[in-house]
Amino acid sequence: MRQAIFALGLAAMALAWAGSAPAQTTEDEDAAPKPATAQAGVRDCPPGLGCVTRRPLPRYVSVKGAEARARRGPGPDHRVDWVYQRPGMPLKVTAEYENWRRVEDAEGAGGWMHYALLSPSRTAIVTEDMAELRSSPDGAGSVVARAQNGVIARLLECQTAWCRVSAEGTRGWVPKAALWGVEPDETFD
């Protein structure tokens, strides 16, 4: 039986530090608090839903292009804190403001990104070293491949404890506990 091993090189690291200059404040940040309806895009939102899209929060998305900047605040004038340089990198959307989404990565870092930099395509990052991709969603399925910690895989389907993924042309089932980019109780097909 042939097994594939997916590797993650240092040149393909997920993040590049964008600098350590202090954040610049604007005149508006020092102003008196705004009414709740104007503050941070807050409207009469149902709990657990984004005020802009009315989609669930938190939810997972992925980086659309080869480079995406995460900023200190929702707008192009805010300082860039992180530059994501891996297409398909999974991110968790935790807030919305107009055309901006506050996102977090697997390590808890992140910031505000313009929605055009994000894709609704679901991906996950392998968090276990040499995670086994199996032919069926149980421990009895044959091992079809192994994926190193840090590999990004496309999510195809998730059951209670397993997700079917695709990486480098290979498909298989991985325990949900070995992935970041899907909630423990989330299921979809």
pLDDT digits (tens, 9 = 90+) for 110-164: 999 999 999 999 999 999 999 999 999 998 999 999 999 999 999 999 999 999 9
C-alpha to C-alpha distance for 3 and 144, rounded to whole angstroms: 6
pLDDT tier at 109, thresholds 50, 70, 90: very high
Distance spanning both ends of the chain, measured CA to CA: 28
φ, ψ (nearest 5 deg) of residue 110: 160, -155
What mean pLDDT do residues 91-117 have? Answer: 97
Read off the tokens for 110.
């992140």
DSSP per-residue string spanning 96-148: EETTEEEEE-TTS-EEEEEGGGEE---EEEE-STTEEEESSSSTTSPEEEEE-
**Exposure on the CB side of residue 140, measured as CA atoms within 13 A:** 0
Question: Could you give the domains of the chain?
Answer: 13-122 (2.30.30.40), 124-180 (2.30.30.40)
CA distances from residue 37 to 41, 44, 78 in whole angstroms, order as listed: 7, 8, 22
Q: Using CA atoms, how far apart are residues 148 and 115, in angstroms rounded to an integer?
A: 30
Q: What is the pLDDT of residue 9?
A: 33
Q: Which two tokens stand for residue 156?
A: 């195809």
In this predicted structure, the answer to whether residue 3 has a pLDDT above a threshold of 80 is no
Cβ(82)–Cβ(70) below 8 Å: yes
Structure tokens at 135: 């032919």
The percentage of residues in the chain with a pLDDT greater than 90, rounded to a whole number, is 74
Compute the distance between CA of residue 172 and CA of residue 164 in angstroms, rounded to an integer: 5
* pLDDT(35) > 70: no
pLDDT band at 74 (very low <50, low <70, confident <90, very high): very high
168/104 Cα distance (integer angstroms): 25
User: 52 φ, ψ to 5°?
Assistant: -90, -55
Average pLDDT of the segment spanning 40-56: 81
